Structure 1
């Protein structure tokens, strides 16, 4: 089943040169980012920094980015100016 899901993901997205994935640091977005990067190493992973995002989520995203060599882009959401 897992292999079928990965194959379907790759089939659906292989037409793109690059994927951009926004991650919150939660299980769903982190799983998507992990799979997308595994299939397409050029995937860019985006994460918003703001008072509304728990520090633990940001640290988790950074740790995965370091461990798996993600191209991580941190963005200041700026909603609390």
Structure 2
């Protein structure tokens, strides 16, 4: 059995957490990562506009400081 590439705990989440490092171009759900995603870091699963909520575990964990595209690395540089 192959371990999943990411964890999503709630359908309302707009980010998932990588379970291992993923190279740019990795397929996650219906999106492709745009950059290297370190293990434990977040990946946007849909577009997140500047100022919009970032949701993980069905909770607001921050707000986008820039527009974030599906597949982008979501971390301190854009939250």
Report the TM-score range of the alignment, normalised by the length of the smaller protein. Answer: under 0.3
TM-score (norm 2): 0.23
Determine which structure has the larger strand proportion and give its number: 2
TM-score (norm 1): 0.22
